[in-house]
Each structure stands twice: as structure tokens, then as C-alpha cells.
């Protein structure tokens, strides 16, 4: 410890000296984000690719033949036909699109040809073996068939190809193309550049600003593709927006088709982002197969835990849809630690990175309940008929110890008021019976603040033999092997964690990735404060470590101790008001936190356990941040973030993200409460809200951010430098940049811009992002 403190130059004598020299303080931290978008194609059944693919598929033809022979029930075919027919809004989520190849510029076609290679790093490489699935011939015309995730990249290539007004813009476009990819189902984009502390804002506001501009660019590219490639004209309007859950209709379709056919329809072909796209595509197939198998194995664990007491279960689908969820990952990097790891003679190497990084993760996990439903959320309704433990508990049997899982399930049933004549009850199985019970006894099921964190495998629990966070190199590999032997995971996949280490050897920087974020209603307000709080708790973790307050021995690496702290996080996702901590827990950090929490008492139900109210625990965590990190709060000017956090905890109905989103979804559906709606009604209203109203609001927010930033690009100091003068003049012809953007705002929001106007906006935004990147590099040359 003392050797590492000396190597890193950490001053432990004074609080101010410590704050200046710790890693992950505001002046040391760089930040970036990765965002996953929901996509859809609006149009008729006869025009949209998803419906056409299903109707033209061998699966559909064989189902018809089997039905005629009597080998398959008529209901299976009827349900699939109803899926194709009963789409009143004409919205087909995650559909691909079809466009004429001759609408592409020569440069876009050259990019397409490169991406169709088996090995993109080799100019003489043959085409991928599956290249034929992306080309069709319709009415004598060559048609390109691609997912929207790749459409974004192709639209960008098209917009900066031949005729691009300035080399700086073209270079920015080519660089930006590498930041559009997809490996699951949804399009993903990641930061064009890391951000740090600037004169006018902290990293939180800066990362939210960069995210907003990336969203703006993605929207412009969608509008460009709709017009330039003739999608709208051909009855295929592509859409892109933030939404956390797999779509309802996609879930229904998943129950009607095989897992193999589901993968063919929805898994990304990985055309962008990897040299060997086919290998990556096969890997994603593996991920889907593993999670589907893992979900089935979770049912066995529920039986072993005593939650499923007999063989009357509703088996989960053999095709798991959780990979279609969408979240945001916020990554933090430390300049100090990265600099040390770049120097092989520094004395701080991979072993030290792992030792202190694992301990920091364990500490930060105690603070993660502050984020759930507070800054991001994924509101969801579950009807009584669907309240089977094997359905709603999802992957939790792989994430929590049986003791905590049983406690969790009992408290969740109590929260959902699943009782008849004072006796706890869950659905029996036959839908007609469960509907009758729900109607007679007014069993409405439950409303969950962030169901994405329950419905997805977000944090694998360690085994007794292989802890994941004990600070030893290779522990993650050993755990994955153990989990693979148990049928829970596959060693080829990266270990799923709530707060994952970003190792220097792999990433080129050292830091952490927060993977616990679902949907941000407002990027500036919610995401900005969330990123600040993430940085604050990470810096506090290193303060605890380097002042000797917490060591690995204080947070033992047993599955029970790991589960004990994570149950609080999952309870927050479900909205459970209380949790239980062993009175003699070996987790000394959690014990101190629990003892400081008001209104605790010995549990009457669970002997040897202390009952803790979740809201009181959150308030205690905020008090700890204020008391244990005052110099860090002052240094990063995080007083406003903590004040905002107080409001979200004290008055969640007006300030917390989950409550705000829920209220607005109910308003859209014309209901006072989510429980006044069925699950289908509420969840459908949520999807409609995300796709329409929220998308427009976030587009307006992004425009405000852009107008502020483009004013600096077109400001006096920028013109004096002369760096962007010619490029700006090529776009604006002497007009003021902010005025130009604002003049086009109404048409942009209503998606009525011409191709020429969209192209100019794309070029201007690329120039804006280039200037931001240059400014960040100049301010942080070592970042």
C-alpha cells in the first residue's frame, strides 16, 4: 500500500492534498458513454422488410404445411397471421430496410464493399459467406437489405462522399463512421472523444452534451436516409429513439417462432465495427443461445430455492429476448493511472490495477442503489397473470444467493398485494383461471420502476471456488469457467458486471464502466448528474483505499456477501421498500452503513437479521458522501449534484426519473395511475411515448445544446484562429451558424427537411464535434 501511494504521488497528509492527487478526481477523470437506440420502421405489411421476411420465410411456409397436415395446432398459424395483420399503428420494431443500390454515392458503395469483406483488414479478401442475404433483385433493380444499425453508417458515408464541401468535414465523417456499430439487435454509438473537466462544466455535463450531439447526428442520418435512399417514398419510414425495453410486439413474435428464426430476423449481422463480421455474428448467436439456456437453468434454481414448490411451472421461451433491451454505459478513465500503466517501469502494473480496481468496484456497488430509478428508469407493468416467479424473476437466481432470493420474492409479492383472503398467491397457469381470479379479487399485479435491470443478466454472482473481485489476476476467467460448467454462462463471453473494470491492456486506458443505466428522460439534467455522482463515488472508493479505511478483508469475497449488497440494488429496481442485512454480516462496510441508517430494527421474521428501509438507506449514503468526501465535493462543485439527489430521494414523485416517466406515460394513456391500466395498455403507452413525445423533446434538448456549441464554433475566437473558417463558409456562405440551425428547427422537428438542408446540417454538426474534440485534446493532452 505505502509503495503504491508513493508511486502514484498521493498526498495523504492533508485533505486538500489528497483530493488533488487521488485518481478519478474531477481534474483526473475522462468520461465517455455508449448508447443503445431503439429502432422501428413505419409502413404497411406489404412494404416493410420484417413482415415480408416472415411471410417469405421457410418457417412460415412449413408452419402452414404442418397445420394442413394436422402436425401443428391451427392456433400457432393463426397467432402468427394475426401478428402480421393486427398492427394498427404500422410500426415494426427492429425491422431492416430495403433500398435501391443506385441511390448510394460511389463513396458509400465503396464503404459497403469494404464492410462486406470476410476480412476488412485485407484488400484482397473475398466477400463474406452470407453477403447474398444483403442483396435482392426486385423488378429488375438491385436492392440492398440492411439493419438500421448499418443504415446509419451508410448514410454518413453517403453524406460526406463525393461533393463534400471541405476536406475537414470529410475527414470528420470518416472518423465518425467507426463510432456507429451494433452487436446485439439495436444500433449503438459511443463517444467520438473522451471528455474531461472544462472551464464551464464538469465531466458530467460534458458527457451529457456529447451524448446529446451524437443523438442529434443519429437523427439527422435517419432523416437523410429516409429521403436520400427513398425509404419514405417506398413506404418504409425508419425511426430511431431511446427506449429501454424489448418491444411488446417483438416479445409476442418471439413466442410464436423458433429461436433460430428469431436470430435470423433480429440479431445484428455485425457489418460495422469488426474486421471479421461473420465471426462476431456467430459470437452473438452464441450469446443468445447461452442466455436462453441460462434462463431455463434459472427455473431449476428456483425449484432448489423452494420458490417453485412443485412441477407446475410456466416454462420460459427457449428464445430469450433480453439482448434487445437498450441501456446507456458511462465509462470513466483515470489519466494518472493510465499514465502509470503506459510506463512499464512505473511500478504500477496490471497486478496493482486489478487489486485496487476490484476493491473499488466492491465499494462502489454499495452506492449503486442511489442511481436506480433516481436518474434512469425503465417503468413496466406486470399483470397478475404474468406473475409467475419463473417469468418475473428472470436471471435473479444467477445473481443472488438463495437466502436473499427468497426474501426478495416474499417482499415483492407483498408489494404487489398478491393475496386472496390474507393468503399469498401467485398465478396457477391456465390463463382463463388467472384472469378470473384477478377480476374477482382485484389482483392488479405490480408496477416496477426499472424492469430492464431484472429482465437482463446484469451481474453474475461469484461461486465459492471463484470470486470475481478478490483482486487476483485471472479471477474472471476462472469464474467464467465455473459458470460455464454450471450451464449459466459461456467462457467466451465477457463477464457481466454492474460496474465493470476497463483494463488498460484491452482498452488502452484504465477505468470503469457503469452499466446500470436504463433510460434518461433528460440528458442534461439526469445523465449529467448521474455521471457526476458516478465519478464522486469512484473517487471516494479510492480515498477509502489509499487512506487505509477499507481493504479487501472488509468486504469478503463470498457469494453470500456479494448477494447481500446487490439485493439492495435489485430491490431498488423493483421498488421494494425494505431489505435485510445479517446483524453479524462480515461485510464491515455494509454493517457501518446499516448501523448509521435511522429506523432500523431487528427483524421479527428473520432471526439474526436487521430490517432496513430502502429510502432511509439512500439518505444515509448521501450523508456519507457529504461527510467522507467534502473536499471531493468541493473540488468538483458537486454540491448541486448532491442537492439534486436529495430532492430525488425526498420527493421522488416530482423529481425521480422513474416517477416522472411513469406519470407522463399515464398522462398519455389518460390514466391517473399505472395500476388503472393493464400491463399491455401501460407498456404500449410507454413505447408510444418514447417513440413520439420523448424523442421530440430529446431532439429539442439536443438542438439547444448544439446551438450553444455551434455559437462557439462560429464565434470570434474561433474565426481568429482561422482553423474552421473555410469549412464553415463552405456550409453557411457567410450566415451565422446558430441562426442557421434555429431557422431549420421547425422543419427538423417535423422531419420535413430537404436532403440538401439535412446534408448541410450533418456537415455543420461534424464540424462542431471536431472542434469539441480538438478543444478536449488541447485541454487534456495526456487524456
Report helix angle 350-365 to 335-342, nearest 10.
160
Give the range among 170-184, 281-295, 388-402, 712-726 with minimum mean pLDDT.
712-726
Q: Is residue 758 part of a domain?
A: yes
- CA gap 702, 700 in Å, rounded: 5
Full residue range of the structural domain in which residue 185 is found: 38-48+90-241+689-779
- CA gap 647, 3 in Å, rounded: 42
Per-residue pLDDT tens digits for 67-124: 999 999 999 999 999 999 999 999 999 999 999 999 999 999 999 999 999 999 899 9
pTM: 0.96
Q: What is the pLDDT of residue 641?
A: 95
Sheet-wide strand order for 499-502: 180-181, 188-190, 29-36, 328-334, 511-517, 499-502
Q: Stretch 404-420: mean pLDDT, rounded?
A: 94
**The three grid cell numbers given for residue 8, joined into one nine-digit string:** 502514484
Q: What is the pLDDT of residue 173?
A: 95
Q: Is residue 599 part of a domain?
A: no
* 284: helix, strand or coil: helix
- CA gap 327, 38 in Å, rounded: 10
How many percent of the chain have pLDDT more than 70? 98
Interior CA angle at 627 toward 621 and 631, to 5°? Answer: 120
The C-alpha torsion from 42 through 45 and 51 to 56, rounded to 10°, is -150
- Does 5 score more than 60 pLDDT? yes
Q: What is the pLDDT of residue 309?
A: 77
- CA gap 480, 496 in Å, rounded: 10
Q: What is the pLDDT of residue 613?
A: 98
Q: Stretch 149-171: mean pLDDT, rounded?
A: 92
Q: What is the pLDDT of residue 426?
A: 84
Q: What is the pLDDT of residue 783?
A: 43
pLDDT band at 713 (very low <50, low <70, confident <90, very high): confident
**How far, CA to CA in Å, does 95 sit from each of 50, 268, 339, 469?**
5, 11, 44, 40
- Does 209 score more than 70 pLDDT? yes
Per-residue pLDDT tens digits for 613-659: 999 999 999 999 999 999 999 988 899 999 999 999 999 999 999 99
- Does 200 score more than 70 pLDDT? no
- Does 418 score more than 60 pLDDT? yes
Q: Stretch 446-474: mean pLDDT, rounded?
A: 95
Q: Stretch 419-435: mean pLDDT, rounded?
A: 82
pLDDT band at 428 (very low <50, low <70, confident <90, very high): confident
- CA gap 537, 540 in Å, rounded: 5
**How far, CA to CA in Å, does 430 sit from each of 48, 223, 592?**
35, 46, 48
DSSP state of 182: -
Q: Stretch 466-474: mean pLDDT, rounded?
A: 95
Is 408:570 a contact under the CB 8 Å cutoff?
yes
Q: What is the pLDDT of residue 163?
A: 77
Q: Stretch 661-682: mean pLDDT, rounded?
A: 96
Q: Stretch 422-447: mean pLDDT, rounded?
A: 84
- Does 252 score more than 50 pLDDT? yes
- CA gap 751, 736 in Å, rounded: 23
Q: What is the pLDDT of residue 780?
A: 60
- Number of structural domains in the chain: 1
Among 297, 298, 288, 296, residue whose Cα is nearest residue 263: 288
Q: Is residue 403 part of a domain?
A: no
Q: Stretch 748-767: mean pLDDT, rounded?
A: 96
Rg (CA), the chain: 26
Q: Is residue 231 part of a domain?
A: yes
Q: Is residue 700 part of a domain?
A: yes
Per-residue pLDDT tens digits for 473-531: 999 999 999 999 998 999 999 999 999 999 999 999 999 999 999 999 999 999 999 99
How many percent of the chain have pLDDT more than 90? 82
Is 577:615 a contact under the CB 8 Å cutoff?
yes
- Does 679 score more than 90 pLDDT? yes
Among 526, 529, 531, 523, residue whose Cα is nearest residue 697: 523
- CA gap 509, 253 in Å, rounded: 41
Is 769:217 a contact under the CB 8 Å cutoff?
yes
The set of residues, in sequence order, having a beta carbon less than 8 Å from that of 755 and lying 6+ positions away, is: 224, 227, 228
Q: Is residue 332 part of a domain?
A: no
* 518: helix, strand or coil: coil
pLDDT band at 286 (very low <50, low <70, confident <90, very high): very high
Give the range among 41-55, 288-302, 592-606 with minimum mean pLDDT.
288-302
Q: Is residue 193 part of a domain?
A: yes
Across all residues in the chain, what is the average pLDDT? 93
Q: Is residue 745 part of a domain?
A: yes
Q: What is the pLDDT of residue 315?
A: 73
Residue 253: phi, psi to the nearest 5?
-60, -40
pLDDT band at 607 (very low <50, low <70, confident <90, very high): very high
User: Which is more confidently placed, 337 or 162?
Assistant: 337
* Residue where the block lists cell 398478491: 418
pLDDT band at 376 (very low <50, low <70, confident <90, very high): very high
Q: What is the pLDDT of residue 198?
A: 60
User: Which is more confidently placed, 780 or 254?
Assistant: 254
Q: Stretch 157-177: mean pLDDT, rounded?
A: 91
Cα 731 off chain centre by? 35
DSSP state of 462: P
Amino acid at each position: 500500500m505505502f509503495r503504491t501511494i508513493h508511486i502514484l504521488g498521493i498526498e495523504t497528509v492533508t485533505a486538500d492534498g489528497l483530493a488533488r492527487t487521488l485518481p478519478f478526481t474531477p481534474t483526473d477523470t475522462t468520461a465517455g458513454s455508449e448508447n443503445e437506440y431503439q429502432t422501428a420502421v413505419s409502413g404497411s405489411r406489404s412494404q416493410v422488410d420484417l413482415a415480408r421476411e416472415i411471410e417469405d420465410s421457410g418457417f412460415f411456409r412449413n408452419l402452414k404445411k404442418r397445420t394442413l397436415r394436422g402436425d401443428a395446432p391451427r392456433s400457432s398459424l393463426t397467432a402468427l397471421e394475426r401478428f402480421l395483420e393486427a398492427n394498427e399503428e404500422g410500426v415494426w420494431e427492429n425491422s431492416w430496410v430495403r433500398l435501391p443500390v443506385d441511390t448510394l454515392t460511389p463513396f458509400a458503395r465503396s464503404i459497403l464493399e469494404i464492410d462486406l469483406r470476410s476480412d476488412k483488414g485485407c484488400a484482397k479478401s473475398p466477400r463474406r459467406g452470407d453477403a447474398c442475404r444483403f442483396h435482392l433483385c426486385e423488378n429488375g433493380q438491385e436492392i440492398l437489405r440492411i439493419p438500421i444499425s448499418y443504415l446509419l453508417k451508410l448514410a454518413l458515408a453517403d453524406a460526406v462522399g463525393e461533393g463534400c464541401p471541405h476536406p475537414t468535414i470529410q475527414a470528420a465523417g470518416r472518423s465518425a463512421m467507426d463510432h456507429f456499430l451494433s452487436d446485439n439487435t439495436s444500433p449503438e454509438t459511443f463517444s467520438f472523444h473522451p471528455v474531461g473537466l472544462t472551464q464551464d462544466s464538469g465531466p458530467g455535463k460534458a458527457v451529457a452534451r456529447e451524448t446529446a450531439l451524437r443523438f442529434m447526428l443519429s437523427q439527422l442520418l435517419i432523416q437523410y436516409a429516409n429521403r436520400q435512399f427513398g425509404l419514405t417514398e417506398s413506404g418504409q419510414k425508419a425511426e430511431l429513439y431511446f427506449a429501454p425495453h424489448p418491444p411488446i410486439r417483438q416479445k409476442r413474435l418471439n413466442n410464436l417462432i423458433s429461436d433460430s428464426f428469431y436470430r435470423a430476423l433480429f440479431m445484428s449481422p455485425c457489418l460495422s465495427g469488426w474486421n471479421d463480421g461473420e465471426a462476431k455474428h456467430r459470437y452473438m448467436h452464441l450469446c443468445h443461445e447461452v442466455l436462453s439456456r441460462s434462463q431455463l437453468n434459472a427455473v431449476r434454481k428456483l425449484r432448489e430455492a423452494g420458490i417453485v414448490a412443485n412441477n407446475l411451472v410456466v416454462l420460459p421461451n427457449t428464445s430469450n429476448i433480453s439482448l434487445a433491451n437498450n441501456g446507456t454505459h458511462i465509462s470513466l478513465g483515470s489519466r494518472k493511472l493510465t499514465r502509470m500503466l503506459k510506463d512499464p517501469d512505473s511500478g504500477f502494473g496490471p497486478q496493482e490495477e486489478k487489486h485496487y480496481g476490484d476493491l473499488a468496484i466492491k465499494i462502489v456497488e454499495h452506492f449503486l442503489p442511489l442511481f436506480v430509478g433516481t436518474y434512469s428508469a425503465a417503468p413496466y407493468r406486470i399483470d397478475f397473470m404474468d406473475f409467475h416467479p419463473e417469468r418475473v424473476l428472470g436471471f435473479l437466481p444467477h445473481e443472488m444467493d438463495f437466502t436473499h432470493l427468497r426474501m426478495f420474492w416474499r417482499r415483492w409479492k407483498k408489494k404487489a398485494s398478491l393475496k386472496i383472503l390474507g393468503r399469498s398467491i401467485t398465478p396457477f397457469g391456465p390463463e382463463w383461471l388467472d384472469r378470473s381470479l384477478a377480476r374477482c379479487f382485484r389482483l392488479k399485479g405490480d408496477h416496477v420502476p426499472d424492469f430492464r435491470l431484472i429482465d437482463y443478466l446484469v451481474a453474475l454472482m461469484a461461486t465459492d471456488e471463484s470470486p470475481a473481485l478478490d483482486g487476483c489476476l485471472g479471477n474472471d476467467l476462472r469464474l467464467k469457467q465455473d459458470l460455464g460448467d454450471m450451464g449459466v454462462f459461456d467462457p467466451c463471453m465477457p463477464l457481466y458486471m454492474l460496474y465493470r473494470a476497463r483494463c488498460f491492456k484491452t482498452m488502452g486506458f484504465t477505468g470503469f464502466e457503469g452499466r446500470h443505466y436504463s433510460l434518461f428522460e433528460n440528458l442534461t439534467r439526469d445523465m449529467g448528474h448521474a455521471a457526476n455522482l458516478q465519478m464522486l463515488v469512484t473517487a471516494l472508493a479510492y480515498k477509502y483505499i489509499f487512506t487505509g479505511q477499507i481493504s479487501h478483508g472488509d468486504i469478503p469475497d463470498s457469494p453470500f456477501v456479494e448477494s447481500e449488497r446487490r439485493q439492495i440494488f435489485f430491490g431498488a429496481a423493483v421498488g421494494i421498500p425494505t431489505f435485510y442485512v445479517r446483524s453479524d454480516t462480515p461485510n464491515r462496510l455494509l454493517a457501518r452503513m446499516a448501523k448509521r441508517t435511522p429506523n432500523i430494527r431487528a427483524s421479527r421474521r428473520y432471526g439474526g437479521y436487521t430490517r432496513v428501509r430502502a429510502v432511509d438507506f439512500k439518505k444515509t449514503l448521501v450523508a456519507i458522501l457529504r461527510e467522507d468526501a467534502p473536499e471531493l465535493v468541493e473540488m468538483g462543485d458537486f454540491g448541486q449534484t448532491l442537492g439534486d439527489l436529495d430532492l430525488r430521494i425526498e420527493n421522488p414523485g416530482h423529481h425521480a426519473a422513474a416517477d416522472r416517466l411513469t406519470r407522463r406515460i399515464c398522462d398519455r394513456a389518460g390514466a391517473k395511475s399505472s395500476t388503472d391500466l393493464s400491463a399491455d395498455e401501460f407498456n404500449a403507452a410507454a413505447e408510444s411515448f418514447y417513440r413520439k413525445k420523448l424523442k421530440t423533446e430529446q431532439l429539442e434538448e439536443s438542438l439547444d445544446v448544439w446551438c450553444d456549441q455551434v455559437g462557439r464554433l462560429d464565434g470570434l475566437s474561433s474565426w481568429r484562429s482561422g482553423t474552421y473558417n473555410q469549412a464553415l463558409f463552405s456550409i453557411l456562405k457567410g450566415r451565422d451558424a446558430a441562426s442557421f440551425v434555429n431557422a431549420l428547427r421547425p422543419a427538423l422537428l417535423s422531419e420535413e427537411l430537404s436532403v440538401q438542408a439535412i446534408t448541410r446540417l450533418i456537415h455543420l454538426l461534424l464540424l462542431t464535434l471536431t472542434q469539441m474534440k480538438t478543444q478536449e485534446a488541447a485541454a487534456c493532452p495526456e487524456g
